[in-house]
Amino acid sequence: MFLDYFALVVLVLVLLICFYGVIAIHDIPYEISVKRNHPHQDAIHIAGWVSLFTLHALWPFLWIWATLYREDRGWGMVRQEQDRLSQLEQQLARMARQLEQQSAAAPCAKASEPVALPAVDKEV
């Protein structure tokens, strides 16, 4: 008789520990988003609770969503924007040199005469 009650207590403890573990695990993406000051913290938190009802099918996507954002670099697009900015600066410097060369070649051009401008690179 004692072993029956002992088994029941062990079963209840195991179920409580599993239940608490699932609740604790589902909140990890939200904690990551709070730590990173994510702009979608509330949405990640609500989606974590929804994920409980879908047997954590959404949970890996929430983890990815929470870890993509960092406050210092945003969504990770800063490097590409900086590359684009440096390309535009180089293009502007090249066009300025071409303009200086054209104005040095024809210093006495009249204002009414059209000046041929260099073509702009469209692939940048």
The model's pLDDT over 43-91, given as tens digits with 9 standing for 90+, comes to: 999 999 999 888 889 999 999 999 998 887 777 765 666 778 888 899 9
- Note whether residue 98 is domain-resident: no
* Residue 56 backbone zone (phi > 0: left; psi -120 to 50: alpha; other: beta): left
Q: Considering the domain boundaries, does residue 24 fall inside one?
A: yes
Structure-token match 């960092």, residue found: 70
Distance separating alpha carbons of residues 20 and 2, to the nearest angstrom: 27
Name the token pair of 119. 């073509």
Domain ranges, residue 50: 2-68
pLDDT, tens digit, for every residue of 3-17? Answer: 999 999 999 999 999
Q: Write phi, then psi, for 74 (nearest 5 degrees).
A: 70, -130
57 domain-assigned: yes
The helix-helix angle for 2-26 and 28-35 (nearest 10°) equals 40
Question: What is the identity of the amino acid at 115?
Answer: V
Residue in the block written with tokens 């929470």 = 66
Q: What is the pLDDT of residue 34?
A: 94
Domain membership of residue 28 (yes or no) is yes
Domain count, the chain: 1
Q: With a cut of 60, say whether residue 41 has pLDDT above it.
A: yes
* pLDDT of 124 higher than 60: no
